[in-house]
A and B are shown apart, each in its own frame.
Chain A
Amino acid sequence: MGMTITEKILARHAGRDRVEPGELISARVDAVLGNDITAPLAIKEFEKIGVDRVFDPERVYLVPDHFVPNKDIKSAEQSKLMREFARKQELVHYFEVGRMGIEHCLLPEQGLVVPGDVVIGADSHTCTYGALGAFATGVGSTDLAAAMALGETWFKVPETIKFVYEGELPKWVSGKDLILYTIGDIGVEGARYMAMEFTGPVIEKLSMDGRFTICNMAIEAGAKNGIVPPDETTSEYVRERAKRPYRFEHSDPDAQYARTITYDVSWIEPQVSFPHSPDNTRPVTRATHVEVDQVVIGSCTNGRIEDLRVAARILKRQKVHPNVRLIVFPGTQAIYLQAMNEGLLQTFIEAGGAVSTPTCGPCLGGHMGILAKGERAVATTNRNFIGRMGHPESEVYLSSPAVAAASAITGRITHPEEVI
């Protein structure tokens, strides 16, 4: 019997010929990561273990991105603890303000995660790297601490749900719309503990940026990991970037899946997830009555260059609605610079939007765009839980960059076609 791509990657890292879903295995990790919220706790736990050094100073990535540039004294103390640990351990990949980015945009861009890897990160959106054909999953701080010491961790081998996307992607429908649609279909625990393998002709034609967006939100269906079979698009992305050798794995034709779900995407509209759950998804034309106070474009879900390009295309020679605050967050310094060189930032600023340094800030209600009681935002982020972007009585609607940009112009949730 064949294996899925997820099973093959896990088997190789466990030093085994094969693994079966449900088995508990101990697997070598190619890299581990933490951020300014999760790493400080992990460092405190690591120090209790009693080892002097991390397993490999080139494989422990620390990225301050959630509350930086630091928003208050307490968060500055957290960042300081992390910075001092990185210096003491002589970590090669610690990313300071000005050279950092949102971790899940930054690490693939820097070639620090490559196809075939097993990566764990103390951040739930670590599953983003599945877009490269890697196994990547989120863990907590104590798991990160243990892996920093051992260079390995334990996993329960997940069952896999195979998703097949067929048909032609309609205009304005993006990777974000596909994943919102999928979560809307299977629910926020539809893939709990499972792998989501994204396949089919539509995925094959999708850019890396679109694939990152899809895998990023696998966790929002409860999944352990999301994964896309690597192909020529993957090759093109990693060829110039990879800092380590990589390996393409593919599911066998006779691999076993828990389920296979096929979607014909030809008729799908841009999607919007209503409060307070990512699976509360509706087509955009059924959301156009919703007035918004703030529009957020960016995050580890949609802060990449392609996302900024589509938003700028819609906002070009347009003005942000007088009642709306538009905040744009490029995912990394490199994306920021590229957006500047392409004139995208000028478009956002001329339209009346604010452009921020890369940070996770507004997505999790940390800083840089907190909502007051009763306020409403449309955001290209990944979660619209109660209080996610600020006051517990504020609301977040999730959408693609195209819908978010169009909504910034009209002041209510809008199909891009309406403003073009």
Chain B
Amino acid sequence: MQLEGKTWKFGDNIDTDQIIPARYLNTSDPAELAKHCMEDADAGFAAAVSPGDIIVGGSNFGCGSSREHAPISIKSAGVSCVIAASFARIFYRNAFNIGLPILECAEAVEGISQGDEVAVDAGTGTIKNLTRGKEYQAKPIPPFMQEVIAAGGLIEHVKRKLG
């Protein structure tokens, strides 16, 4: 899967309360959640983000609450993928389960500045910073996660298992 977009850079330990505050969790409607994506980290993000844009986080991205509403809000805001130095474990599972591509690569995070144009091959994990002409390789995706992706998400994977 080839993805390309402008990057939005965030710091370390972006928790899921910042990604989607609990005051909006009285619904699970993706379009509603998208309106408030990243609101407590950057109140202007949801209005300014364009389809295909890429979120770049530091370490421990998605820590805190298990709310799947967090990756859903990111995906439905049009963000094509999240690159971070590391991910919190529940967010990591949730992102794969709902089909939001995520890549772990501390060097890329270091080498990308806010607004850089970046191209990602979600299959191979290659990250190209088009603005700066640098290329990075993300950590490989565990085989089980690759199966989930190939099936089109965890629910499809379970269907096949039961089918």
Contacts and interface: CB of A to CB of B under 8 A. Distances in A.
Interface of A: 24, 37-38, 40-41, 44-45, 48-51, 66-67, 71-72, 74-75, 78, 122-124, 126, 138-143, 145-146, 149-150, 154, 156, 188-189, 192-193, 219, 222, 224, 277, 364-366, 383, 385-388, 392
A1 B64 CA distance: 34
A379 to B, nearest CB: 14
A192 B94 contact: no
A387 B68 contact: no
Given A140-B66, A140-B97, A146-B155, A385 B15 contact: yes
Contact of A150 (B13, B64, B158): B158
B17 A48 contact: no
Nearest to A189: B60
Contacts of B3: none
Contact of B59 (A66, A123, A189): A189
Contacts of B93: 139-140, 143
A387 B18 contact: yes
Interface of B: 13, 15, 17-18, 21-23, 25-28, 39-41, 43, 59-60, 63-69, 71-72, 86, 88-90, 93-94, 97-98, 142-144, 153-155, 157-159, 161-162
A188 B13 contact: yes
Contacts of A365: 17, 21-23
A67 B26 contact: yes
A124 B144 CA distance: 22
B45 to A, nearest CB: 13
A63 B97 CA distance: 23
Given A142-B155, A188-B63, A392-B40, A385 B17 contact: yes
Interface centre among A67, A143, A193, by most B CB within 10 Å? Answer: A143
14 contacts: A75-B26, A124-B65, A139-B94, A140-B66, A140-B90, A142-B98, A146-B158, A149-B158, A189-B13, A222-B60, A222-B63, A365-B22, A386-B17, A392-B40
A265 B98 CA distance: 43
Contacts of A366: 22-23, 25
A51 B142 CA distance: 28
B153 A142 contact: yes
Contact of B88 (A37, A141, A192): A192
Contact of A364 (B22, B60, B97): B22
B154 A146 contact: yes
Given A123-B66, A154-B144, A386-B17, A140 B94 contact: yes
A75 B24 CA distance: 10
B13 A124 contact: no
Contacts of B64: 124, 219, 383, 385
B66 A124 contact: yes
A206 B91 CA distance: 32
A146 B65 CA distance: 19
Contacts of B162: 49-51, 149-150
Contacts of B98: 140, 142
A403 B60 CA distance: 30
The 5 A-B pairs of least Cβ separation, nearest first, read: A140-B94, A140-B68, A74-B26, A142-B97, A75-B26
Nearest to A365: B22
A38 B97 CA distance: 14
B41 to A, nearest CB: 8
A80 to B, nearest CB: 12
A24 B158 CA distance: 17
A6 B77 CA distance: 38
A192 B155 contact: no
Contacts of A141: 68, 94
B155 A71 contact: no
A366 B23 CA distance: 6
Contacts of A41: 28, 68-69, 72
Nearest to A388: B17
Contact of B28 (A44, A50, A143, A224): A44
A74 B97 contact: no
A67 to B, nearest CB: 6
